[in-house]
């Protein structure tokens, strides 16, 4: 290439600027169409998520999960998922404990799912799960509750300090109020990483 044919500084600058703009546009599209940012507010998800943790949630599952494509990929909300949902004009972060079709019961500080005691591996061993006292509770001790279609029973991992579906004024969470499934924590940097579905056993 002769000197006359070499690209000028101006053209190189334009090419770099175009690449930066394209990258920004792609990131904006991803941000608004595919992910939901959120911040943990308070101690209700301890010890797994902490106050002020910043999260991204997968938004695609919200509209693809109930389609044939979602079914073929086994891609939908499930027990153990951490979700973000709207509650009284704020966003809350909780974990799905019971999904549509499940029957949940609380008895002797244990959770019964479909008549089996569940042991949640994502919370410290031996932590009891109490129901709120009096008329604050959604259901009574020993009472079974069947989760209807398009609804979810959610709780915080910090069972002694979480306002969740156990409370009558929160109750079951309709699917249309869910914003997405948490899949990554991006702040603080030392805790950066993927958020997996919570594991549990039944007996």
CATH number of the domain within which 80 lies: 2.10.109.10
- Under the banding of pLDDT at 50, 70 and 90, the label for residue 23 is low
Which listed residue (59, 94, 105, 179) is catalytic?
94
Which listed residue (38, 44, 162, 165) is catalytic?
44
Q: Does 164 have pLDDT greater than 60? A: yes
DSSP secondary structure code for residue 72 in this structure: H
In this prediction, residues 82-95 reach a mean pLDDT of 94
In which domain, by residue range, is 168 found? 9-202
Any catalytic annotation for residue 78? no
- Under the banding of pLDDT at 50, 70 and 90, the label for residue 24 is low
Distance from C-alpha of 46 to C-alpha of 51, rounded to nearest angstrom: 8
- pLDDT (0 to 100) of residue 102: 98
What's the half-sphere exposure (Cβ side, CA atoms, 13 Å) at 1?
Answer: 6
Residue 166 within a domain:
yes
Residue 1 within a domain:
no
Any catalytic annotation for residue 133? no
- pLDDT (0 to 100) of residue 2: 47
């Amino acid at each position: 290439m002769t000197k006359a044919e070499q690209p000028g500084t101006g053209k190189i600058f334009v090419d770099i600027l175009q690449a930066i703009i394209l990258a920004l546009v792609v990131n904006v599209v991803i941000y608004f169409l595919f992910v939901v940012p959120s911040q943990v507010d308070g101690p209700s998800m301890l010890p797994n998520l902490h106050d002020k943790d910043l999260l991204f949630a997968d938004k695609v599952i919200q509209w693809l999960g109930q389609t044939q494509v979602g079914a073929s990929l086994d891609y939908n909300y499930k027990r153990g998922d951490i979700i973000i949902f709207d509650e009284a004009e704020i966003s809350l972060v909780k974990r799905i404990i019971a999904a549509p079709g499940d029957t949940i019961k609380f008895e002797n500080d244990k959770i019964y799912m479909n008549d089996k005691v569940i042991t949640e591996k994502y919370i410290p061993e031996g932590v009891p799960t109490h129901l709120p006292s009096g008329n604050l509770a959604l259901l009574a001790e020993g009472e079974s509750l069947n989760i209807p279609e398009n609804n979810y029973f959610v709780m915080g991992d910090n069972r002694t300090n979480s306002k969740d579906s156990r409370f009558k004024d929160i109750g079951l969470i309709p699917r249309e109020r869910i914003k997405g499934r948490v899949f990554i924590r991006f702040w603080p940097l030392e805790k950066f990483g993927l958020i997996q579905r919570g594991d549990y056993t039944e007996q």
